[in-house]
Every structure is written in C-alpha cells, then in structure tokens.
Amino acid sequence: MPSPLESALKNDGPAHLYTDAYYTFMASHVEYLRTARSTQLLELDARTVHANLYNYHGLFTELGIRYEDHQLLMMVNRIKGPLELTDDIRYLLVPDNTVVERLKNIFRTSQV
C-alpha cells in the first residue's frame, strides 16, 4: 500500500518518455510540429506570464500541459531552458495533442 506521500505524487508519465532516445526521436519531428496546420498559436496573458517569470514548467502546468510534454513544448518553441520565461513572451506554439500522441505511439512501438 502506498504511503500518503507517494499517493500525493503526480504520475509524470511512462519512463520511456524521459530517455535520450525519445528526445532524439521527438527532436527529429520538431519542425513538423512547428508547421503543422493543427498546431495552435496560443496567446499568453501577461499576468500569467509575470506570475511564472523564469519558470516555464510553472507556466506549462498552469496551462494544463502534461509534465511529460514540457520538454517537447520547449523544443517546439526553441526554448533552451525552463528559466528563460520573461515578461516579453506573449505566444506559444502548442502542437495538437492527437499528433503528439501519435508520435509517442510510433516511438513506443519502435522500441520493441
């Protein structure tokens, strides 16, 4: 039986989504994700950005983006590190979740 602390921890997704092989695979699809018709340009509220200054992970979490997709979203938006969030950021490219899930499935089945 898990302890109360273990029960409170969030599931960050399957372990294979945090491997170098996964990041390399997704990096090879970043340009497609940037230019896909289904990718949305999300306008950010200045107050939300300011509340999460230098914390992209906090912003992504507040926007409801799963933790397992934070690194991918950073790659798509050419963000080098989670501390780069400044007040001048107004937009994010957000790939369609269906496309992202399809890529994850392709990666998962290629690892068998």
Other beta carbons less than 10 A from residue 48's beta carbon = 12
List the pLDDT tens digit at each of the 112 positions of the chain: 666 666 555 667 788 888 899 999 999 999 999 999 999 999 999 999 999 999 999 999 999 999 999 999 999 999 999 899 999 999 999 999 999 999 999 999 998 6
In a domain, 57, yes or no: yes
pTM of the model: 0.84
What is d(CA 95, CA 32) in angstroms, rounded to the nearest whole number?
10
In a domain, 8, yes or no: no
Q: How far apart are the first and last CA of the chain?
A: 31
Provide the residue range defining the domain that includes 36.
13-110
Output the pLDDT for position 5.
65
Structural domains counted in the chain: 1
- 53's torsion region: left (phi>0), alpha (psi -120 to 50) or beta? beta
What is d(CA 60, CA 85) in angstroms, rounded to the nearest whole number?
11
